[in-house]
Amino acid sequence: MRMTGTLLALILMGLTTVFANEGEINSIFQHANAAYRAQHYQQADSLYQTILQKGFESATLYYNIGNCKYKLGDIGAAILFYRKALKLNPNDADAAKNLKLARLKVMDKIELPPKFFLLTWWEALTTRWSYQNYLKLALVFWWVMFLMAAVWVMVRRDGIRAWSRRLVILSVVCFLLTSGMGYAAYTAQVRQQQGVVVSSVVTVRSAPEENATEVFILHAGTEFVVADVRNDWLKIRLADGKEGWVPRNETEII
Amino acid sequence: MVRWKTILWLIGVALITRVGAQEDIQLKAYVSRSVVGVNDNFTYTVEISGSARSLPDVTLPDLSDFKILSGPSVSSSFQMINFKMSASKTYQFVLLPKKTGQFQIPAATAKVDGKVIRSNTINITVVPGTTPPTGSKKKQGEAVFFRAVASKSAAYLHEPVTIIYKIYYRTRIANPALVDAPEVSGCWQEEFQLKQLPQYTEIINGTQYKVVEIYRMVVFPTRNGEVSISPMRISLDVMEKSRRSSRWDPFFDDFFSAGYGEWKQKVFSSNAVRIRVKPLPTAGKPANFSGLVGQFRLSTSLNKTMAQTNQALTYRVTITGNGNTDFLTDLSLNLPRTFEVYEPKVKGTKGLNGNQFNSTKIFEYVVIPRVPGQFTLPPLKLSYFDPIEGRYKILRSSAYEVMIEKSPDYDEALARNFVPKSDVELLGQDIEFIRETPGRWHRIGENPFSTIAVTGLVVLPVLAFLGLLGVQRYREKMITNVAYARRQRASKQARERLKEARRRLAGGNLAEFYGAIAGALIGFIADKTNRSAAGLTREDLHTILSENQVAESLQKEFFACLQEADFKRFAPAQATREEGERCLHQAEQILKDLMKYFN
């Protein structure tokens, strides 16, 4: 009893600190919005950034910063923040549209071979929905499963028992599916680090050394998957499979 | 060992030929020196002689250990001595060692009357440097020497370095010939043929020399560290003053020997050139560094600024400077995407002005506008490294404003091919406006899903279900197992009966009260053992209590209480209410103690 009491107190304390700062954060946010409306993009950007410095984030905040960066002509950073917004909320249609526009301004055009349709489906399944949503759904099925099992145990009437048994089987299947998808989405969204080139030009090298052979050159806004990390170097993989090493400070991780 | 064998064999052959052949033919080989410096030449002569009218042909030995500077020069002579004619023929080579070490020149052979005769073999020792010719004077410095002069001893990577090969001489020289070309490693090399050999005079250590430049080359180091260029070796015919006159009188020496003397072929080696190569600094290196090192100028030109669609424009880019431009094959013009750019026509020229390298590169691009409109061709930016100032610089050409009009043959569908399809839809679209409501804030790095909550949500139904199963199981046992059910309920039942007894006592019915007490005591044992209360005799009770290891004192109390209850039940008149209270209290205590022995 005392345990739950302290737990509750802790949660309440956490909530009060969140609420205490939230008023301040919201007022900064509104100031930044006003600056953006007045087309003072630089000022708006730095105001939005102070919210990040205070330790708060939201999909909308990232989206708005992306817009500032786009208006300031920093396409690399614009793409980075749109991607961050989409990572928090994969269903953000505004961010998706602006990301598409920003990508048009990227100098490196990566030609992709046509993909097998099942692979495209799988990618859509694992990236369009955040893994948290899959997790929520899986939890719902988990509860339904036990609830139905309980009915099956408790109730004596044969008709209800048969139905509850069918529902248990169905919810087991649904639970396995959703948790599997959730794990796949988690792997695609969280475990696999992705990044964006933010400096205007970066030389990709064959090894993580300053004077290794130059393999190719990338420009701001090109997105990649992080394949390996060594000291201050990232091994990057482009969508078309090209690989190489770049200094970490020329890029940002989404 | 081998030599002895050869000699013995030679003696044998000589004896046989002496006996067998009247001609008496001899074959011998000799050299001018057997110990030579690696830069010294020497003569090797094979002589065949005999009394025959015609001498047989000589098969000359393999001389691949040496470089043949000249030869074989063949000379023949005839002599009549004591009416005996003798003839001789010599084959002479001028040889130059290739490297230091011990070498053997194999024997020359000739066929005489079907028999093979051999000359002697010769051993040559090649030592490093030059062995001074015996008796030569080296006081006033050498009459002739050969030098490689580099324009700088330290250079940045890819910075041009000019190397000039000069012959310094104070005597007459002639017939220069290349023996070993310099070997260049770690450098890109550019050679320049000299149409006219520059000649002038220089004073070295107080002595005036005539100088002739015979070869120039420009190298561009391609790796950091030190690169070296091996010496160049040439042979020259040098006029040497006759030795006799110099012994005669030093004063008249010059006077008489001017223009006199003998020509001698000599080999001269230049010094090796070493260049310390500095890497290009990383500080301030432009991201799109072109790789050019030197001083450069950039100029562009566009043949017209007004044109119609599908009409070609020529965009010319000229880069001039004193560094290497060979590797520049294409430039990124960054023209608007509606301009189609073809592969450039590239022309390059290179030259040497004094010891200054210069190169010019012209890129001629054909550019075809596909879409009408007003366009800005952005300035071309080209970065290079200036080794004199030691920093990177960026050249920037001018931008061009171009007006493209619609030509009669303008085809919108065709033009569209030059703008990617998806771009067409989005072209001219602006981004969506910001959102004014911030949405849900959360702390950075905080997982919106707390692990504790998730674990709770996962574990909770499992626990609840297990609990449910436990309850269900208990209920089923109670139904199906009477003994278990009775045993489980015994204590509860005993308490019920005692409560019943208290009610009876309160009601004043002592007979029923004592009956209830007895019932509670016996009923408890009956329930615990699943037996009928009526069927339990004293002995049965006694064995049950003993089996359950009930303490002796408690057993006594139990039976005493039971006896009192049984007795007073049938004689209630003898009992008082106070006694009843005491008995009830006692029974309560006994049952409470007994519960510890039965589970």
Q: Note the pLDDT tens digit of each residue in B430-439.
A: 788 888 888 7
Q: Which residues of B touch A57 (CB under 8 A)?
A: 441-444
What are the C-alpha distances in Å from B230 to residues B16, B100, B274, B515, B517? 52, 16, 9, 131, 127
Q: How far is B285 from B385, CA to CA, in rounded Å?
A: 9
Mean pLDDT of B425-448: 73
| Confidence tier at B100 by pLDDT (50, 70, 90) | confident
What is the Cα B310 distance to its own chain's centre?
Answer: 47
From the list B112, B84, B438, the residue with the least C-alpha distance to A47 is B438
Strands B35-37 and B122-127: parallel
Mean pLDDT of B34-50: 83
Q: Note the pLDDT tens digit of each residue in B151-193.
A: 888 888 888 888 988 898 888 888 888 888 888 888 888 887 7
Q: How far is B582 from B553, CA to CA, in rounded Å?
A: 18
Burial of B427 (0-12, 13-18, 19+ CB in 10 A): exposed
Residue B338 near residue B415 (C-beta atoms within 8 A) = yes
Q: How far is B163 from B149, CA to CA, in rounded Å?
A: 5
pLDDT of B5: 57
Tokens of B548: 């359950």
Best A21, A43, A61, A84 residue to mutate vs chain B (most B CBs within 10 Å): A61
What are the C-alpha distances in Å from B151 to residues B162, B201, B217, B357? 5, 19, 11, 11
Tokens of A42: 């630089």
Cβ contact (<8 Å) for A60 and B435?
Answer: yes
From the list B542, B576, B573, the residue with the least C-alpha distance to B559 is B542
Using a CB–CB cutoff of 8 Å, tell me whether B287 touches chain A.
yes
Using a CB–CB cutoff of 8 Å, tell me whether B139 touches chain A.
no
pLDDT of B2: 47
User: Whose structure tokens read 């007994």?
Assistant: B594
Closest approach of chain B CAs to the CA of A223, in angstroms? 19
Burial of B201 (0-12, 13-18, 19+ CB in 10 A): exposed
Q: Which residues of B touch A203 (CB under 8 A)?
A: 287
ipTM value, please give it.
Answer: 0.72
Residues in Cβ contact with B428 at an 8 Å cutoff, skipping those fewer than 6 apart: none
Using a CB–CB cutoff of 8 Å, tell me whether B423 touches chain A.
yes
Of B287, B430, B438, the CB nearest to A60: B438
Q: How far is B570 from B547, CA to CA, in rounded Å?
A: 31
Judged against a pLDDT cut of 60, whether residue B427 lies above it is answered with no
Per-residue pLDDT for chain A (254 aa), expressed as one digit of tens each? 445 555 555 555 555 455 547 778 888 899 999 999 888 889 999 999 998 888 888 889 999 999 999 988 888 999 999 999 988 888 888 898 899 888 887 877 776 667 777 888 887 787 778 788 888 899 999 999 999 888 888 887 888 888 888 999 999 999 999 999 888 888 877 778 889 998 888 888 888 888 888 888 888 888 898 888 888 899 998 888 888 999 988 888 88
Q: How far is B298 from B382, CA to CA, in rounded Å?
A: 8
Residues in Cβ contact with B559 at an 8 Å cutoff, skipping those fewer than 6 apart: B538, B541, B542
| Confidence tier at B575 by pLDDT (50, 70, 90) | confident
Q: Compute and round to an integer the Cα radius of gyration of chain A.
A: 24
Tokens of B448: 């919106």
Q: How far is A197 from A80, CA to CA, in rounded Å?
A: 9
From the list A189, A193, A192, A170, the residue with the least C-alpha distance to A181 is A189
From the list B44, B76, B75, the residue with the least C-alpha distance to B60 is B44
Torsion, Cα B199 B204 B208 B211, to 10 degrees, reads -10
User: Within 10 Å of residue B347's Cβ, how many Cβ atoms?
Assistant: 11
Range list of H helices, B232-332: 243-248, 250-257
Using a CB–CB cutoff of 8 Å, tell me whether B472 touches chain A.
yes
Tokens of B55: 């001498």
pLDDT of B16: 45
Q: Which residues of A touch B436 (CB under 8 A)?
A: 30, 33
Best A17, A19, A29 residue to mutate vs chain B (most B CBs within 10 Å): A29
Q: Across chain B, what does the average pLDDT equal?
A: 80
Q: H/E element holding B504?
A: helix B482-507
Task: With H, G, I as helix, E, B as strand and everything else as coil, classify residue B212.
Answer: strand
Residue B227 near residue B187 (C-beta atoms within 8 A) = yes
Task: With H, G, I as helix, E, B as strand and everything else as coil, classify residue B426.
Answer: helix
Q: Which residue has the higher pLDDT, B427 or B96?
A: B96
User: Whose structure tokens read 């003839």?
Assistant: B87
User: Within 10 Å of residue B292's Cβ, how many Cβ atoms?
Assistant: 24
Q: How far is B294 from B395, CA to CA, in rounded Å?
A: 13
From the list B225, B64, B203, B202, the residue with the least C-alpha distance to B156 is B225
Q: H/E element holding A171?
A: helix A158-186
What are the C-alpha distances in Å from B396 to residues B297, B383, B391, B540? 9, 9, 16, 119
Q: pTM to 2 decimals?
A: 0.40
Task: With H, G, I as helix, E, B as strand and everything else as coil, classify residue A79.
Answer: helix
Closest chain A residue to the Cα of B472, Cα to Cα: A154
Residue B91: CA count within 13 A, CB half-sphere: 17
User: Whose structure tokens read 């000291």?
Assistant: A231
Cβ contact (<8 Å) for B462 and A67?
Answer: no
pLDDT of B452: 81
Per-residue DSSP letters for B507-536? Answer: HT-HHHHHHHHHHHHHHHHHHHHT--STT-
Helices B538-547 & B510-529 angle (0-180, nearest 10): 50
Tokens of A215: 């393999």
Per-residue DSSP letters for B36-95? Answer: EETT--EEEEEEEEES-SSPPPEEPPP-TTEEEEEEEEEEEEEEEETTEEEEEEEEEEEE
Torsion, Cα B81 B82 B86 B92, to 10 degrees, reads -20
**What is the number of helices (H) and of strands (E) in chain B?**
11, 33
Cβ contact (<8 Å) for B468 and A25?
Answer: no
Strands (E), B417-498: 442-443
Cβ contact (<8 Å) for B434 and A150?
Answer: no
User: Within 10 Å of residue B538's Cβ, how many Cβ atoms?
Assistant: 10
Of A25, A33, A139, the CB nearest to B436: A33
Residue A251: CA count within 13 A, CB half-sphere: 27
Q: Count the residues in chain B.
A: 599
